[in-house]
A and B are shown apart, each in its own frame.
Chain A
């Protein structure tokens, strides 16, 4: 175990997409109990520095492990299929059509109810993609195919964030 260990190893978890969120959370807290700089507040600069490095590393791993999208992308990368989102934006035509339909609906939405409806559709779509990802990674070990779904999920999540932003604006 060292700072270069992968996230799953660091957290003592199986290298799979399916994870029990409660267990990930509990592991995170167990690890921070050992490593957090506050635990070394009276132990001098050297101990502080090392605690800081570990604590940052544990938080980094936690951010990836708890988030299905980041976890999926990480698993693909660990298994030789990097997502390369910025260089590869090609998506199937049907997917792009649906994205455009959503964007239009978002532009036309006027009330919180309208936005809530869109939000629910998006959540449903997100659940479906996640199921496909779990199948592709955990059952078929088909990482290259999984990358396509991870990219789709990135689009879906970006759209979901835009819906949230509109909801925030309605509050103001």
Chain B
């Protein structure tokens, strides 16, 4: 564990030193952390030289946790307390998890997000993900022997607002400053594009453990523009494992009635429904058997990447399952899954208004793209062999690290720019349970859209809004994001009020909503209380319970963080003055310099709230200056380019 570095009063650390910024790929099956060192992005290994951290957390009966490889070892013996593929539960209710019956966990159903009953009591998927993120944070801090400045965390492009918010909450629990959430395919494109100096339209085919993403990007001179994105947030390598296990059991059952119990509880995937039909679909198999079958299927799948035939072998309660599986069998058993990915590819090309011929290259991301049938199917579809010269496991973390390095200001000359899109449309419920779309999918973010609403009855002073996300016409088919009520509308006759509701989607793809009654100018102050996420109170409570406070002194940490923020503001103001100080008159300049002196003086105190307060004043005092600078930047972008006819 890294020790905190605390300076003598008056000797703040050199603010010009490199900031430790990392990219984190928080994956379904495994997670990685990468950073740019000596100008090159590389994945950071643990103390045993392994870069991959299995996304598995085990809660031990006697207290304590195992995270990563140790937890994997224990998975078969203690399946209920060993949580893997937790990413599939982020921001999800129990009804959303299609494979729930096949999983060995004790789920607790909640309206927003499910919980998992473990030896440590009920755990939210956010907490479990927080454990993984914290482990990676400590790995980075140990590597650099310094505190982490911030991280770029990747999410599947197809993640909705609830899943993104849950990921951000997990980072908060792990004490990580999130510089940006970026989409996994976009991160892969950064790593790939910068490595190969590519230009043109590229498709990123990303099949991970639990999610499938397909993104179309246009690369031009350092700008990575996402043209369209699509996919399936519940389709991945895990499904191939389950399909294979079901197929093997179906074959065995068909061969001999004596093993009829074997197939009974796999919940019958569509493609094996007929072979399993005789054996019903009760879910009586023990958690250990479920875990053993999944592990066996996974080993078999991975072996089939290199060989044409392999023996599926699993030890179940009272039965030993062995069966020879040929690669062609595996291909056939999973062809429906592969076809599902290709139909998502066709859809995204239609969205992008592009044809297959216009795609210059196809980048493969995610461990599941190692399966030969995937390489073959994707190659056939695009009429060219897919590109896979970067390690598909690492490429996402590497791209995120490059972006993190730039966002932290370590690469001032860098001209990398990401223009990403919102993956799913946002709308509100209208009369009759229909959806009125307000922000359409594949619109570049950040974006803001306004919609006017009015009152329905005389004297109405409140208006209930239901925000949903999805492409379907009926509210019941979309994901409910938030319900809230606008209050304080001045009483008027029905239809007279004009309430403008503005939906803002920030660069992380997260939504916020504000409202203004226009005829009276009354601003109805609203907070979106997500029906999915965790309230601030719950997060604070979890934070108090968590590793962060147990292992670190919160008080010292608060001061260090306040000083880091203060340094950052001073540095920003300094560089702004150096670059564009001529925009200010002497008085304005003196005012900012005075504030900077006050911030420096405050940093000498061991008083976090005081440092924060004066830093906030500096931020406020430089706002007008920032606006002037932005104007100059915009003018510069257009200078010499204006058409003579204006």
Evaluate contact between B447 and A60: CB separation under 8 angstroms. yes
Q: Is A97 located at the chain interface by the 8 A CB criterion?
A: no
Q: Verify B619–A62 contact, CB threshold 8 A.
A: no
Q: Are B646 and A12 in contact (CB under 8 A)?
A: yes
- Does A128 touch B at the CB level, under 8 Å? no
Across-interface contacts of A40 in B (CB, < 8 A): 626
A46 contacts B619, C-beta separation under 8 Å: yes
CA distance A46 to B619 in the complex (A): 6
Question: How distant is A13 from chain B, measured CB to nearest CB, in Å?
Answer: 6
B637 at the interface (CB under 8 A from A): yes
Partner of B417, one of A27, A38, A62, A167: A38
B620 near A46 (CB under 8 angstroms)? yes
Q: Are A52 and B572 in contact (CB under 8 A)?
A: no
Interface size class of B (residues with CB under 8 A): 35 or more
Asked if A33 and B223 make an inter-chain contact with CB atoms under 8 angstroms apart, the answer reads: yes
Least Cβ distance of B350 to chain A in Å?
A: 6
Query: Residue B569 at the A interface, CB < 8 A?
Result: yes
Distance A35 CA – B571 CA, assembled complex (angstroms)? 20
The contact string, 1 if C-beta is below 8 Å from chain B, for chain A 27-54, is 1011111111111111111110111101
Q: Does B408 lie within 8 Å of A42, measured CB to CB?
A: yes
Q: In the complex, are the beta carbons of B572 and A42 less than 8 A apart?
A: yes
Interface residues of A in 53-85 (CB under 8 A from B): 54-56, 59-60, 62-63
Binds A, one of B5-13, B91-99, B357-365, B628-636: B628-636
Q: Which residues of A contact B407 (CB under 8 A)?
A: 38, 41-42
Q: Is the CB of B635 within 8 A of A1?
A: yes
What A residues does B19 contact at CB under 8 A?
42
Cβ-based interface call for B141 (8 A): no
Enumerate chain B residues within 8 angstroms of A1, measured Cβ to Cβ: 631, 634-635, 638
A13→B638 CA distance, assembly (Å) = 10
- Known pairs A38-B507, A41-B409, A59-B444; list 9 more (Cβ under 8 Å): A10-B634, A11-B638, A12-B641, A12-B643, A44-B568, A44-B572, A46-B619, A47-B626, A59-B447
| B556 to A: closest C-beta gap in Å | 24
Contact code string B558-573 (vs A, CB < 8 Å = 1, else 0): 0000000000110111
Residue on A with the closest CB to B409?
Answer: A42
B626 touches A29 (CB 8 A): no
* B residues 587-645 touching A (CB-CB < 8 Å): 616, 618-620, 622-623, 626-627, 629-631, 633-638, 641-643, 645
Supposing A1-B635, A12-B643, A171-B346 touch, asked if A46 and B446 sit within 8 A by C-beta, the answer is no
Instruction: Confirm or deny: B441 has a beta carbon within 8 angstroms of a beta carbon on chain A.
Output: no
A52 in complex: contacting residue of B443, B506, B576, B629, CB < 8 Å: B506
Q: Which residues of A contact B633 (CB under 8 A)?
A: 34-35
B505, closest chain A residue (CB): A56
**Is B350 touching A167 in the complex (CB atoms < 8 A)?**
yes
For residue B179, CB closer than 8 A to chain A, the reply is yes
A114 partner residues in chain B, CB cutoff 8 A: none
Q: Which residues of the partner chain A approach B626 to less than 8 Å between Cβ atoms?
A: 40, 43, 46-47, 50
Q: Does A108 contact B (CB under 8 A)?
A: no
Q: Say if the beta carbon of B73 comes within 8 Å of chain A.
A: no
With A44-B569, A44-B622, A45-B619: A52-B446 Cβ-Cβ less than 8 Å: yes
Q: Contacts A37-B446, A62-B444 known; A30 to B631 CB distance under 8 Å?
A: no
Query: Judging by beta carbons under 8 Å apart, are B343 and A2 in contact?
Result: no
Closest to A16 in B: B645
* B448 interface residue per 8 A CB criterion: yes
Can you pick out 13 interface pairs between chain A and chain B where the beta carbons lie within 8 Å of each other? A1-B638, A12-B641, A30-B637, A33-B415, A34-B637, A36-B507, A41-B408, A43-B576, A45-B619, A52-B446, A54-B630, A56-B448, A171-B343
Which residues of chain B are near A29, meaning CB under 8 Å?
A: 220, 223, 225, 417, 419
Residue of B nearest to A43 (CB): B572
Residues of B within 8 A of A167 (CB): 350
- Encode contact with A along B342-355: 1 for CB under 8 Å, 0 otherwise: 01001100100000
- Answer yes or no: A14 CB below 8 A from chain B CBs: yes
A2 contacts across to B, CB distance below 8 A: 631
Distance of A36 Cα from B182 Cα, bound (Å): 14
Top 9 A-B pairs, shortest CB-CB distance: A42-B409, A34-B633, A46-B623, A41-B407, A43-B572, A12-B638, A171-B343, A47-B626, A30-B637
Q: Collect the chain A residues with CB atoms within 8 Å of residue B507's CB.
A: 36-38, 52, 55
A41 contacts across to B, CB distance below 8 A = 179-180, 406-409
Q: A36-B507, A50-B623 are in contact. Are A171 and B646 (CB under 8 A)?
A: no
The chain A residue with its CB closest to the CB of B623 is: A46
Interface status of A110 (Cβ within 8 A of chain B): no
Cα distance, A2 to B635, chains bound together (Å):
10
Say yes or no: B408 contacts A34, CB within 8 Å. Answer: no
Give the residue name and chain of the A residue nearest to B640 (CB). A12
Q: Is A35's CB under 8 angstroms from B347's CB? A: no
Does the CB pair A14–B643 fall under 8 Å?
Answer: yes
Q: Whole-angstrom distance between the alpha carbons of A120 and B242 in the complex?
A: 42
Q: Which residues of A contact B172 (CB under 8 A)?
A: none
Known: A33-B417, A38-B418. A49 touches B623 (CB 8 A): yes
